[in-house]
Amino acid sequence: MKVRKAVIVAAGLGTRMLPASKVIPKEILPVVDKPAIQVVVEEAIASGIEEIILVLSPGRTTVHDHFQPATELERHLEQRGKLDMLDFIRRTNNPVRFTTAWQEMPLGLGHAVLQAQEAVGNEPFAVMLPDDIFDGPVPCLRQLLDVAEARDAPTVALLRVPRTEIPKYGIVSVRSVESRLYELTGMVEKPPIEEAPSEFAIMGRYVLTPDIFALLVEGKPGAGGEIQLTDGLLALSQRRKLYGYEFQGTRYDLGDRLGFLTAQIGFGLKRPELADSLRRWLKSALRESESGR
């Protein structure tokens, strides 16, 4: 299969990051100095994606606006000779073809993905959830695409999570195929710890085939009364082979306060102009906090 399109779901209410997300969509909150949505779009482009379908909720157009030209700001930067900043800003102007789909009601992730059906059409596509961002030598989506293309089958990202975190995720049961690669034999959304089939959680990167749409249409509300993508995946796995890949790299959960903080530090330490000063500050902050205990 050849995957050209990625659906990025940015329609959530962001309740876990309130009050920061009261006015600003959580996808616009920064990772160092880039909105999370831009980090995800850059991952898509680096993975070879040619078209992005943003699923947004009504009234929350800021995510889309971020990728539009900002004429006044550009003129200002040009006049002041701030050419490096001008270059940064211009790089966010439609770096790839964008389409927007709307999720009128917050009826769940499966329902959000379904809103992209018309824009996706009858071809395989990726789904990216901007709460999850990744750092590693090969973009997480590219790693999944390599598996999906080689096996000609839908593939999702997997991460082993501590048992206490199991109820936050879609959890899969697996049959090992080769190093890091599993065939998915079952899955359940946000199970209680004692009912979890494994410690493998689905992370927010998926490569899917368009037959998932019909299964989402048929889908009944699941965990939390929402139409769950995980339930659609389970139905899909009963019709065709579905793989899970334990990706290589670090994942941050931007929808969570600790994940948001560690992402700033993790990505900050990767920035050559910030790394030395940040490392020095971290060392002294740690010493101070430990001596104050």
- Residues near ligand G1P (CB under 6 A) are 109, 129, 131-132, 169-170, 189, 201-204, 228-230
Question: Which residue lies nearer to ligand G1P by CB, 74 or 246?
Answer: 246
> C-beta of 253: minimal distance to ligand G1P in Å?
7
The residue among 77 and 184 lying less far from ligand G1P, judged by its C-beta, is 184
Using the minimum distance from each CB to ligand G1P, give the nearer residue, 92 or 228: 228
Q: Is 2 helix (H, G, I), strand (E, B) or coil?
A: coil
Residue 51's alpha-carbon distances to 4, 36, 78, 100, in angstroms, are 6, 18, 29, 11
Q: What is the CA radius of gyration of the chain?
A: 20
Considering the complex, what minimum distance in angstroms separates the CB of residue 2 from ligand G1P? 25
Which CB atom, from 35 or from 170, has the smaller least distance to ligand G1P? 170
Give the integer Cα–Cα distance in Å for 270 and 290. 25
Q: How far is the CB of 203 from ligand G1P (least distance, A)?
A: 5
Residue number with CB closer to ligand G1P (109 or 120): 109
Strand, coil or helix: 38: helix
The residue number with the shortest CB distance to ligand G1P is 170
Residue 120 CB, shortest distance to ligand G1P, in Å, is: 19
Handedness of CA 34, 36, 39, 45 (dihedral sign): negative
Nearer to ligand G1P, 13 or 214 (CB): 13
- Residues 197 and 175: their CA atoms lie apart, in Å, by 12
Which has the closest alpha carbon to 198: 188, 213, 209, 208? Answer: 188
* Least distance to ligand G1P, CB of residue 205, Å: 9
Which C-beta is closer to ligand G1P: that of 27 or that of 131?
131
In the chain the first and final C-alpha atoms are separated, in Å, by 56
Q: How far is CA 113 from the centre of its chain?
A: 13
Q: Which is nearer to ligand G1P, 84 or 258 (CB)?
A: 258
Closest to 273 in 3D by CA, of 6, 11, 32 = 32
Other beta carbons within 10 Å of 31 = 20
To ligand G1P, the closest distance from the beta carbon of 276 in angstroms equals 33
Q: Least distance to ligand G1P from the beta carbon of 190, Å?
A: 7
- As measured in angstroms, the least distance from the Cβ of 185 to ligand G1P is 16
Q: Please, what is the Cα angle at 193 between 192 and 198, to 5 degrees? A: 115
* Rounded-to-integer distance, Cα 72 and Cα 78, Å: 10
Beta bridge partners of residue 131, listed in sequence order: none
